Chains A and B, each alone.
Chain A
């Protein structure tokens, strides 16, 4: 077996655009991760556009796409990387870039995920973020369709059960309790929960933590991203949890893995040829 993280000679890698969803105050670990990646000799440009002032995730991601387009040398191939919410923003920004005729040659999404419709329902996230009813119904319909194919009775039961729970909690919590709102992440979460994602045709490398697959994916290695990735994807299961997979000691292997995948792409022997 060849160790894919060891290859020589190493071709020079293009600039890596790192799309960030959270500000440095919310997630300083990712800033450190990017610095650690830079210390391996690769150039990384941090792309961060705050969510304030945007009415939708599409608008926000459009501004991110503008930023990438402005800073990217068109002669060079486009490599993108993002983590957590940044992955979701990148997913939308990629669609915008494709519409503009710009195709990324390498896209890495580190432990990015979509919540399953059942998870959103049980946690009351649709209510918390005031998601329109049409959207909620469409998402619950997903549960009835393959590959999940839950029974109508199971879906209805979970909806009724959640409604009863909401009613019981009403006197204690009130209508749309403000106590559940985390102010420093609310805008980002509100925008992302309101967005109905399109299919993405760009192939993607997913670096997913095993614990996230188990905890949020219900065994789906893409953690519910797969439905949208129609151009192909490959899953690299990484060490650690969602929070610490980008920190030492796990970050070292993850960076080596990303660099190896990028080198393979540059050499024309990447997963997607």
Chain B
């Protein structure tokens, strides 16, 4: 593949600190090595009580760095993608529609899986949130039966009671302090509807592991403006590290070039 032309600045939204995920910092550097300008946007979660507020902080930082009138290209990986997907409606409400949005291996958690793993309890999701998440399982197109949903809730409740003497009530042992608060904010929020079209770079292993039969890994419900899926090599952890990162960066640059040339997926 030939060297891409110089593209507009790419704003990369990051959720995790360098200590938690150093690989993404290296990935951004590798992207810069292809001649592209990448601005790393990291806003700490401290002081925010919801993901939406936190995403608002990210938007403020972005607007300080981005010059109005220039093309806006955005990217996010993992939790950074979740922050970005929450930030997009805030931008849309301000009349700002990004020209390019890339999500690298983001996923929504399947309500049934989150129940089985006890994540609602771990992240102290309010009961109303737990109820609508389980209700989602009854709705189309997945449409689990009421019996299936009820059985899974009863089974999880019984398991929790059995594990109570061993683990205690809301075991602190399960909490990873480096990522707990960020995930606490994330799990309590529902992804909003986004009308800005997006490019999804998805590892087939993530589809297989987290959401079989949904190549968007749960994003389709949210991305109302359209999305294209690019299947990428590696798994969630290795897709941004060599050798897979080389192809991924080339793919991102090609998609951004197409957008700049006016021949992108969304015209």
Contacts and interface: CB of A to CB of B under 8 A. Distances in A.
Nearest to A143: B139
A273 B261 CA distance: 17
A144 interface: yes
Interface in B165-213: 190-195, 197, 200, 213
Contacts, number: 117
A157 interface: no
B222 A197 contact: no
B140, B190, B220 interface centre (most CB from chain A within 10 Å):
B140
B226 A230 contact: no
A272 B230 CA distance: 8
B221 interface: yes
Task: Summarize B's interface: helix, strand, loop or mixed.
Answer: loop
B265 A226 contact: no
B141 interface: yes
Interface stretch (B12-20, B68-76, B130-138): B130-138
A146 B141 contact: no
A160 interface: no
Contact of A146 (B191, B213, B267): B191
A148 interface: yes
Interface string A176-207: 00000000000000000000111101010010
Interface string A149-188: 1000000000000000000000000000000000000000
Contacts of A203: 228-229
Contact of A235 (B136, B191, B197, B216): B197
A31 interface: no
Contact of B224 (A198, A221, A230, A271): A221
A234 B228 contact: yes
**How many interface residues does chain B have, given as a range?**
35 or more
Interface in A211-233: 219-222, 226-233
Given A141-B138, A197-B140, A221 B262 contact: no
Given A232-B229, A234-B265, A271-B266, A148 B141 contact: no
B228 A232 contact: yes
A142 interface: yes
Task: Summarize A's interface: helix, strand, loop or mixed.
Answer: loop
Given A141-B138, A147-B193, A147-B221, A233 B230 contact: no
A4 interface: yes
A144 B139 CA distance: 10
A53 B191 CA distance: 43
Interface string A229-273: 111111110000000000000000000000000001000010111
A230 B216 contact: yes
B223 interface: yes
A145 interface: yes
A144 B213 contact: no
Given A147-B193, A221-B226, A273-B230, A138 B143 contact: yes
A243 B43 CA distance: 49
A2 B230 CA distance: 24
A147 B227 contact: no
A269 B139 contact: no
Given A221-B224, A271-B228, A145 B132 contact: yes
B135 to A, nearest CB: 5
A272 B265 contact: yes
A199 B214 CA distance: 8
A266 to B, nearest CB: 15
B190 A147 contact: yes
B263 interface: yes
Given A149-B190, A219-B195, A234-B266, A226 B223 contact: yes
B64 interface: no
B226 A196 contact: no
A1 interface: yes
A226 B135 CA distance: 19
Nearest to A273: B230
Question: Which 9 pairs, one residue from A and one from B, show the smallest C-beta to C-beta distance?
Answer: A147-B193, A271-B265, A146-B190, A199-B141, A1-B262, A230-B220, A145-B136, A234-B226, A2-B262
Interface of A: 1-2, 4, 138-139, 141-142, 144-149, 196-199, 201, 203, 206, 219-222, 226-236, 264, 269, 271-273
15 contacts: A138-B140, A139-B140, A141-B139, A145-B139, A146-B192, A198-B141, A201-B213, A226-B221, A230-B216, A232-B228, A234-B265, A234-B266, A269-B263, A271-B264, A273-B228
Given A142-B139, A199-B141, 6 more contacts: A141-B139, A221-B195, A228-B140, A232-B215, A234-B266, A272-B229
Interface of B: 132, 135-136, 138-143, 190-195, 197, 200, 213-216, 220-230, 261-267
